[in-house]
Amino acid sequence: MRFRILRADNRSKARCGEMETSHGTVKTPVFMPVGTQATVKTLTPVQLRELGVEAIICNAYHLSLRPGEQIIKDMGGIHRFMGWDRTIVTDSGGYQVFSLRNISRTSDEGVEFSSPFTGERIFFSPERVIDIQIALGSDIMMPFDQCVPYPCERDDAKEAMLRTDRWTRRCLAALSKRESNGQALFGIVQGSVFRELRQESVERLGEMDLDGYAVGGLSVGEGRYLMNEVLGYTVEKLPWDKPRYLMGVGSPADILDAVEHGVDMFDCVLPTRNGRNGCAFTKGGKIKLFNSIYREDKRPLDDTCDCYTCRTFSRAYLRHLFFAGEILALTLVSLHNVYFFQEMMRGIREAVLAGTFVRFKEKFLEVQEKEDSK
Amino acid sequence: MRFRILRADNRSKARCGEMETSHGTVKTPVFMPVGTQATVKTLTPVQLRELGVEAIICNAYHLSLRPGEQIIKDMGGIHRFMGWDRTIVTDSGGYQVFSLRNISRTSDEGVEFSSPFTGERIFFSPERVIDIQIALGSDIMMPFDQCVPYPCERDDAKEAMLRTDRWTRRCLAALSKRESNGQALFGIVQGSVFRELRQESVERLGEMDLDGYAVGGLSVGEGRYLMNEVLGYTVEKLPWDKPRYLMGVGSPADILDAVEHGVDMFDCVLPTRNGRNGCAFTKGGKIKLFNSIYREDKRPLDDTCDCYTCRTFSRAYLRHLFFAGEILALTLVSLHNVYFFQEMMRGIREAVLAGTFVRFKEKFLEVQEKEDSK
């Protein structure tokens, strides 16, 4: 994997770059729609491509449980399996496994838990998650990390951070012994909201020559202020020449904040989940289609938007589809929301290239917040 | 509306033609996917267009209850509302209203029933359903008809047939008094499985110069044998130079039978409903994706099919999507099934033009039935 910074902003830490994976170029800062189960919910790969999506993220944990990574491997790998020939990142499933805490047993060796489908006991280790991700054939793999809840005691956060470091070394060692077709491996910085822990995590992971660095354990309830504080002292210590990925983030405001701190990659369920719930992102703020004010509204979701949904359908029609329980509603609003995020990222990249990112951010949020508060 | 027969088969009553509506040409025999709520379930208008669909059918009853025909009219009519610029037929909702028998009061004037959404008392008359359909702006309207269940006493069938005749005359009168932008009106032949009633219905409706003739009240449980018998003595009496429409039909076998009797138009929920249930039509018979034999099946649904789903995805992937509860599964199999019906109709039209329809039908059913019985 190659990463090239095209321009760094003078007035903030924002950067604009290009990532080359085995499946094409990804312009950064990039937002990756979530395709946990090897599908970005409700959208076809052709629709994603038309929306300009260059990378998505799938989940090794979910796919290893169902349908099983061996089936996907036998089908020719995850790209072939799901009909998506651009970049695929796979999350290891650390986050998912540690959400099952009451049914899992954790040791330095790994984590034992029950399959939610069969009840069968399953063991995840750093080596195992690398094997799964090699079988899937994603372009960028994430190591097995221990996630802590928020809030969290410093000692627990430290233990999880150190374990994540040890596990990452084992992932790297496992990867070096296996044939992987040039799959990249990132590190995941942990340490909750503790400055020294985050910085120790960065230092330790920095010793390994990983292909990129993710910040984990944020956007878990700590709020915008604390997240910015953590990003402030974490991101600047990360290797300059490697892509930086803020996992599970986020809202337009969170993304703009993080880009300002120098983050290059994002993923979040927000555009698709909100889409399925009838909530559309627009340049003028969010629209909740169940609201009766849209009953006879002839306007598109966003009259400055060029997506298929906005070019074709009124708010009144989309609202009708939601009330009639029609699946097309979920598809059309998901499609619009993914396009909204794509367009926002395009705007961010253009602004960084033009040296106007800070103004872009201010203006973007000003309009959104003014309308949201109406 | 214009209808032109391009070729009539020598060895059967099959015909191949072209219907011109205000929204384009429809090649017949045609299969119209069902878009009851102003959406063909799970599919975008662009996808329908790419599948080659030239006409769909929506439902005046459903749309008048929700969102209300006035909203659709204010939005510029049903084509604009749902983003579909080809032909739209609207069913009057007679079938739906008479399915609510226990809560409706029927007289010669019309039918009173409660809205399933608001409980509000609603009155449907022949004039009212014409007004609704004019507001919607469909290309082909259906008159308000009284449907009877199957089986049905001859006296009840006769009464309903005669009432349908009187109501059709009122529909035609109402239409002639209103501005309708050239919307066509069909008649609906009733009479259950009684030869004299069907023929009387045909004669009565034939006195009016309607734009086309539908056969209603079939495919309601009478079975393939009886349906063929009714079609045999009904369709041949219909005006030769007008399109003939068998409502709510049906399976590939039923469609092939009816084409052989001289029917030109069909609609049915089968491809989309089966698609949402994980059941795919293929040239080799039906495939139920929940079956475990498809768990690792690398083949497309139908390896002779050129649809997007078959060009891109394996049975194993589609099965995975169904098991994961993913909406994309419903979209992809619906898309394939609609394409299957489109392709079957294309095959039928080509065979009629080539004078080989009877052989086409035999061969088509032979392969299907052989595989279905495996």
Interface check B312 vs A, CB under 8 A = yes
Question: How many beta carbons lie within 10 A of that of residue B156, not counting itself?
Answer: 13
Tell me which residue has tokens 């009122």: B170
Q: Domain-by-domain residue ranges, chain A?
A: 2-268, 275-372
**Is pLDDT of B264 > 80?**
yes
Lowest mean pLDDT segment, chosen from A93-107, B13-27, B222-236: A93-107
Under 8 Å between Cβ of B296 and B318: no
Burial of B369 by CB count in 10 Å (0-12 exposed, 13-18 middle, 19+ buried)?
Answer: exposed
Which H or E run includes A111? Answer: strand A111-114
pLDDT of residue A234: 98
> Do you know the residue count of chain B?
374
In chain B, residues with a C-beta closer than 8 Å to the C-beta of A298 are 74-76
ipTM of the predicted structure? 0.97
Mean pLDDT of B278-299: 97
Q: Is A78 a residue whose pLDDT tops 80?
A: yes
Looking at the complex, does the CB of residue B285 fall below 8 Å from at least one CB of chain A? no
DSSP A137: T
B283: left (phi over 0), alpha (psi -120 to 50) or beta: alpha
Find tokens 């790998």 and name the residue.
A77
B83: chain A residues, CB-CB within 8 Å: 312-313, 317
Cβ of B301 under 8 Å from any chain A Cβ? no
Q: Answer whether residue A261 shows pLDDT above 90.
A: yes
Would you give the distance in Å from CA B355 to the centre of its chain?
Answer: 26
Contact B324 A83 (CB under 8 A): no
If you average pLDDT over residues B1-12, what whole number do you get? 97
pLDDT at A126: 98
Q: Give mean pLDDT, residues A188-202.
A: 98
| Among A255, A253, A215, CA closest to A235 | A215
Of A281, A288, A290, the closest CA to residue A310 belongs to A281
Whole-number percent of chain A with pLDDT over 90: 91
pLDDT interval class at A367 (50, 70, 90): confident
Question: Where does the pLDDT of residue A368 fall: very low under 50, low under 70, confident under 90, or very high at 90 and above?
Answer: confident
Alpha-carbon gap, residue A322 to A299, rounded angstroms: 17
Q: Cβ–Cβ contacts within 10 Å for residue A311, how many?
A: 10
Model pLDDT, residue B116: 87
Q: How far apart are CA B1 and CA A18, in angstroms?
A: 56
Task: List strands edge to edge, sheet with A55-59.
Answer: A30-33, A265-268, A244-246, A212-215, A184-189, A140-141, A87-91, A55-59
pLDDT of residue A47: 98
SS (H, E, C) A240-263: CCCCEEECCCCCHHHHHHHHHCCC
CA-nearest of B255, B302, B306, B310 to B282 is: B302
A293 near B CB under 8 A? no
Catalytic residues of A, by residue number, are 91, 267
**CB A327, CB B330: distance < 8 Å:** yes
Nearest to A37 among B66, B324, B332 (CB): B324
Please give the pLDDT value at position A102: 63
Higher pLDDT, A115 or A348: A348
Confidence at residue B225, expressed as pLDDT on a 0 to 100 scale: 97
Task: Give residue B101's pLDDT.
Answer: 63
CATH code of the domain made up of B2-268: 3.20.20.105
pLDDT digits (tens, 9 = 90+) for A17-67: 999 999 999 999 999 999 999 999 999 999 999 999 999 999 999 999 999
Provide the pairing of β-strand A111-114 with A105-106: antiparallel
Nearest CA in chain A to B326: A41
pLDDT of amino acid A4: 98
**Distance between B59 CA and the closest CA of chain A, angstroms:** 13
Give just the sign of the alpha carbon dihedral A201, A204, A210, A211. positive
Kindly state whether A277 is in contact with chain B, defined as any CB-CB distance less than 8 angstroms.
no
Given CB atoms, is B115 within the 8 Å cutoff of chain A? no
Q: What are phi and psi of A212, to 5 degrees?
A: -175, 170
The full DSSP string for A266-299 is: EEESHHHHHHHTTEEEETTEEEETTSGGGTT--S
pLDDT digits (tens, 9 = 90+) for B23-58: 999 999 999 999 999 999 999 999 999 999 999 999
With CB atoms and an 8 Å threshold, state whether B308 touches A46. Answer: yes
pTM of structure: 0.97
Give residue-wise pLDDT tens across range A92-125.
999 998 887 666 789 999 999 988 888 899 999 9
- What share of chain B has pLDDT > 70, as a percent? 98
- How far apart (Å, rounded) are the C-alpha atoms in residues A42 and A330? 7
Give B98-120 pLDDT, tens digit per residue.
887 666 789 999 999 988 888 89
User: Looking up tokens 């080989």, which residue turns up?
Assistant: B356
- How many angstroms separate the CA atoms of A282 and A336, rounded? 9
Q: What percent of chain B has pLDDT over 90?
A: 91
Residue B199 is predicted with a pLDDT of: 98
Distance CA B222, CA B225 (A): 8
B296 vs A71, A320, A330: nearest CB: A71
Q: Alpha-carbon distance A185 to B285, whole Å?
A: 46
Taking CA A332 as the corner, what is the angle to CA B39 and CA B323, rounded to the nearest 5 degrees? 85
**Cross-chain residue pair B320–A38, CB shorter than 8 Å:** yes
Which residues, listed in sequence order, are joined to residue A21 by a DSSP beta bridge? A24
Query: Would you call A69 exposed, middle or buried from its count of C-beta atoms within 10 A (0-12, 13-18, 19+)?
Result: buried
8 Å CB contact of A312 and B66:
no
| Mean predicted lDDT score pLDDT of chain A | 96
B230 is written with which tokens?
A: 């009714």
3-state secondary structure chain B: CEEEEEEECCCCCCEEEEEEECCEEEEECEEEEECCCCCCCCCCHHHHHHCCCCEEEEEHHHHHHCCCHHHHHHCCCHHHHHCCCCEEEEECCHHHHHHCHHHCEECCCCEEEECCCCCCEEEECHHHHHHHHHHHCCCEECCCCCCCCCCCCHHHHHHHHHHHHHHHHHHHHHHHHCCCCCCEEEEEECCCCCHHHHHHHHHHHHHCCCCEEEECCCCCCCHHHHHHHHHHHHHCCCCCCCCEEECCCCCHHHHHHHHHCCCCEEEECHHHHHHHCCEEEECCEEEECCCHHHCCCCCCCCCCCCCHHHHHCCHHHHHHHHHCCCHHHHHHHHHHHHHHHHHHHHHHHHHHHHCCHHHHHHHHHHHHHHHHCC
The amino acid present at A106, given as its one-letter code, is T
Question: What pLDDT does B372 receive?
Answer: 61
Residue A359 has pLDDT above 70, yes or no: yes
DSSP bridge pairs for A245: A214, A265
Radius of gyration of chain A (CA): 20
Instruction: Spell B195-223 as b/e; 16+ CB within 10 A means b.
Output: eebbbbbbebbbeeebbbbbbbbbbbebe
Q: Is A126 exposed, middle or buried (0-12, 13-18, 19+ CB in 10 A)?
A: buried
Flag whether residue B293 sits within 8 Å of chain A, measured between CB atoms: no
Catalytic residue, candidates B9, B165, B267, B302: B267
Answer yes or no: are the C-beta atoms of B64 and B94 closer than 8 Å: no
The 8-class DSSP code of residue A183 comes to -
DSSP 8-state symbol, A300: -
Contacts of A310 in chain B (CB under 8 A): none
- Residue-wise pLDDT tens digits, B74-90: 999 999 999 999 999 99
pLDDT at residue A287 is higher than 70: yes
For residue A35, the number of C-alpha atoms closer than 13 Å in the C-beta half-sphere is: 31
Structure tokens at A255: 């993304």
- Residue indicated by tokens 């032979």: B366
Query: Measuring CA to CA, which residue among B274, B267, B304 is closest to residue B290?
Result: B274
Q: Which amino acid is at A336?
A: H
pLDDT of the residue at B371: 61
Which pLDDT score, from 0 to 100, does residue B189 have? 98
- Structure token digits, residue B273: 């409903």
Confidence band, pLDDT 50/70/90 cuts, at residue A371 = low
- State pLDDT tens for residues B132-175: 999 999 999 999 999 999 999 999 999 999 999 999 999 999 99
